[in-house]
Structure 1
Amino acid sequence: MSFQKSKFHHPRLPLNELGLSYRDYEGSLSTLCAGCGHDAISAAVIQACHELSIPPHRVAKMSGIGCSSKAPNYFMNRAHGFNTVHGRMPSVTTGANMANRELIYIGMSGDGDTASIGLGQFAHVVRRRLNMLYMVANNGVYGLTKGQTAATADLGSHSKSGETNLFADIDLCVMALQLGASMVGRSFSGDKKQLVPLIKAALSHRGFAFLDIISPCVTFNNHATSTRSYDYVHEHIKAAGVVDFVPARTEIVSKFDNQKLEDICLHDGSILRIRRTDDDYDTHDSRKAVAAIEEHKAKGEILTGLLYIDPTPQEYHEMAGTSATPLSRLSQEDLCPGSRVLANINASFR
């Protein structure tokens, strides 16, 4: 049996600055389990890209293997896409980014694809500060292969079959902070008001932006003893800050009370507005962010929101001095300047 998404849509759907509706940013009909948090993440990406008026053809969707890595098929069907082998999304994205820095790179991964087989790849794409948005749909299990415990599962948590996790979890936000990510945030797939602004800010951030998104697996990790279930996450979330993304061209009135605010100007002129819940929380100090994550984890809480941001970071192209022109548009003379230039390069290393 095959299914097709209806092409019908309301004739008066709101249009963005490009004249595109929300439906123009959708993808194929999802084959994930009904109620899967990954579909909520896809919907958040669709909303963020639509509201930012991002041309779909300027986006490259990159993924690996797993339930989460299927998700890019369900948003922005007019974008470029590449589904890599398990755990190798970062290296393929790096190669694509080197060839064409003009595209907007969205990497979609999971706890297995990133924290297990792809852990080494993840570490190096962070430290290289590749200009991309890297999202992990984190459910703590391997949902595609019947619910084995993932490396991000909490110590002492129980699988659906009753098995106890004997190992400490890998906290990907902590790892990203320690390796030099210039924007780090954590959210919950069921909290669209927090997730959409974080995605919009990450897409506008020039540098390596990492989002760890708790996304419960309704089939294998939504039971009473799970620490990744909908009920558990709802009861243990602690927000580091409420985020309101303000595009550079239009002002958005914040919807929260007039409390202590912080406006962070991103490189493209957009504003990231934060309301702090803790007076001493500093979004510009990565070491304090790590300490805050660990402090709340010790209380059984999941710290969400914008955890860290460097508003003026260096990204890989600036560090390496690469060509601003995509390789496909370079001339033969640029690519092969001749033996004299090669001799000068070789001489510079002697």
Structure 2
Amino acid sequence: MSYQLPTFRHPELPVNELGYTRADYEGAISTLCAGCGHDSISGAIVRACHELSLEPHRIAKLSGIGCSSKAPTYFLGKSHGFNSVHGRMPSVVSGAAMANRDLLYLGVSGDGDTASIGMGQFAHAIRRNLNMVYIVMNNGCYGLTKGQDSATADEGSASKKGDANPFSAIDLPGLALQLGASFVARSFSGDKGQLVPLIKAAISHRGFALIDVVSPCVTFNNNAASTKSYDFVREHAEATGTVDFIPMREEITASYAAGHAHEVTLHDGSVLHLEKLSEDLDPFDRVSALVALEQYRARGQILTGLIYMNKDSRDLHDVLETSRRPLNSLREEDLCPGNKVLVNINASLR
């Protein structure tokens, strides 16, 4: 069976500042299971990129292996793409980002791809503050290989086959905070009102931006005993507050009651509004974020929204003081300045 997108589009679809419709940011028709949360995340990415008026050719989407890593096929069909091997997406992004800092890097991974085989690469991408958006489509199971529990499955949670997981879960936002991530958020695939502005803020942030998205697997992990089912997340999710993202080019007209909101100007001049934050959380304090995660976990709740952000983040290029020009644009004379320059460099190291 072949799958093709219809070529017809309504002639009056709304366009962004570049003249693109949302359809211009779509990809191939999804072959994931009907109702899969991953497709909702793909839709949120499409909407965020369209509303930000991003040029598709300036976006590079990369992934590993798994249901989540198939998802980039279904969005941003006119962008650069690379499907790597299991757990190795961060190192591929690192090499690409060092060669061409002008692209926007969007990494898509899964709970198995990140929290098991890719854990080492995930950790080092964070500690280096690689300038990328890292989205985890987290369903707590291996959907491509019959639904075995993954490392993010909660202790006591049961998948479709009914066996309770005996092991404690790896909490990716908590781990990212401990490793020094400069932007940490969690959301739910069924809550685009929260997820879309979080994606926009992550794109505008300079440094490593993690969004852990609970994304129910409708085939193997959407039953009553699962803590990553649609019903469980809807009943137990607790948001840090309302997130509103305003691009730099738009006039800021919103107003908020004193003491109930934070307004943060991001690196590109965009503004992030955080309204009615949780009493238990200061999103600009790493320790406060860690404590809040643990408190909500102990109560059996899932904390969503913006959990932590370093407003003064310095990414890997800033730390290494790399060339402002992408390496792929440097000429031979730029890379080989001559013997005299090399002699002076060697002399300075003695």
Query: Could you say which TM-score interval applies, normalised by the shorter chain?
Result: over 0.9
User: CA shift at 1:345, angstroms?
Assistant: 3.0
Q: Residues 9-48 of structure 1: matches in 2 within 5 Å?
A: 9-48=9-48
Aligned to 1:296: 296
1:174-209 deviation digits (Å, cap 9, x = unpaired): 111111111110000000100000001111111111
Q: Which amino acid aligns with 1:260?
A: H
Please say if residues 259 and 275 of structure 1, whose CA atoms lie closer than 8 Å, have aligned partners that are also in contact: no
Secondary structure, aligned partner of 1:345: helix
Query: 1:132-151, aligned counterparts within 5 Å?
Result: 132-151=132-151
Comparing 318-327 with 116-125, greater Cα deviation is found at 318-327
Distance 1:5 1:106 in 2: 24
Partner of 2:348: 348
User: In 2, distance between residues paired with 1:345 and 1:214?
Assistant: 51
> Which region of structure 1 is more displaced relative to structure 2, 116-125 or 172-181?
172-181
| 1:207-260 Cα shifts (integer Å, max 9, x gaps) | 111100000000000011000000000000010121000111113655998971
CA shift in 2, pair 1:104/1:336, >3 Å: same
1:6-27: per-residue Cα shift (whole Å, max 9, x none)? 1111100000000000000000
**2:156 matches 1:156:** yes
Give deviations 1:135-156, integer Å, cap 9, x for gaps.
Answer: 0000000001110000001011
Partner of residue 182, structure 1: 182
Moved more, 98-107 or 152-161: 152-161
Query: Cα distance, 1:262 vs. partner?
Result: 0.9
**Could you tell me which amino acid in structure 2 is paired with residue 48 of structure 1?**
A
Q: Which runs of 5+ in 2 are unaligned?
A: none
Distance 1:255 1:216 in 2: 35
**Aligned positions of 1:146-295 closer than 5 A:** 146-251=146-251, 260-295=260-295
| SS of residue in 1 equivalent to 2:71 | helix
The AA in structure 1 aligned to 2:267 is: H
SS where residue 70 of structure 2 aligns? helix
Residue 290 of structure 1 aligns to which amino acid in structure 2? L
**Matches of 1:94 and 1:10, distance apart in 2:** 40
CA distance in 2, matches of 1:269, 1:176: 25
- The AA in structure 2 aligned to 1:143 is G
The amino acid across from 1:287 in the alignment is V
1:238 is paired with a residue whose SS is strand
CA gap of 1:255–1:8, structure 2 versus 1, over 3 A, is farther
CA distance in 2, matches of 1:274, 1:237: 18
Work out the CA distance in 2 between the residues paired with 1:302 and 1:47. Answer: 25
Query: How many residue pairs align between the two structures?
Result: 350
Task: State the secondary structure of the residue aligned to 1:303.
Answer: strand
Change (3 A) 1:156 1:349: farther
State the 1:280 CA deviation: 4.6
Q: How far is the alpha carbon of 1:344 from its aligned partner?
A: 3.2
d(CA) in 1 for partners of 2:210, 2:337: 38
Shift of 1:120: 0.2
Q: Which amino acid aligns with 2:105?
A: Y
Contact 2:280/2:292 (CA < 8 Å) preserved in 1? no
Q: Deviations over 1:42-98 (max 9, x none)?
A: 000000000000000000001000000111111111100010000000000000000
Counterpart Cα distance in 2 of 1:210 and 1:279: 23
Aligned amino acid, residue 74 of structure 1: Y
Structure 1 length-normalised TM? 0.97
Q: Distance in 2 between matches of 1:76 and 1:257?
A: 38
> Conserved in 2, the CA contact under 8 Å of 1:266 and 1:312?
no
CA deviations over 1:281-330 (Å, ceiling 9, x no partner) = 21100111011011000111000000011122111001001111112211
8 Å CA contact retained: 2:261, 2:274:
yes
**Is the Cα contact below 8 Å between 2:159 and 2:222 reproduced in 1?**
no
- Determine the structure 2 residue equivalent to 1:336: 336
CA spacing shift, 1:347–1:135, aligned 2, 3 Å: same
Shift in CA distance, 41/256, structure 1 to aligned 2, threshold 3 Å: farther
Distance 1:349 1:258, change over 3 A: closer
Aligned residue type for 1:64: G
Go from structure 1 to structure 2 and tell me whether the alpha carbon gap of 1:229 and 1:328 turns closer, same or farther (over 3 Å shift). same
Q: Distance in 2 between matches of 1:279 and 1:210?
A: 23
- 2:79 equivalent in structure 1: 79
Contact 1:32–1:67 (Cα < 8 Å) also in 2: yes
Tell me which moved more, 252-261 or 309-318.
Answer: 252-261
Q: Percent of aligned positions with the same letter in both sequences? A: 62
Give the SS at the match of 1:107.
strand
Structure 1 gaps of 5+ residues are none
What do you get for the CA RMSD once the two structures are aligned? 1.5
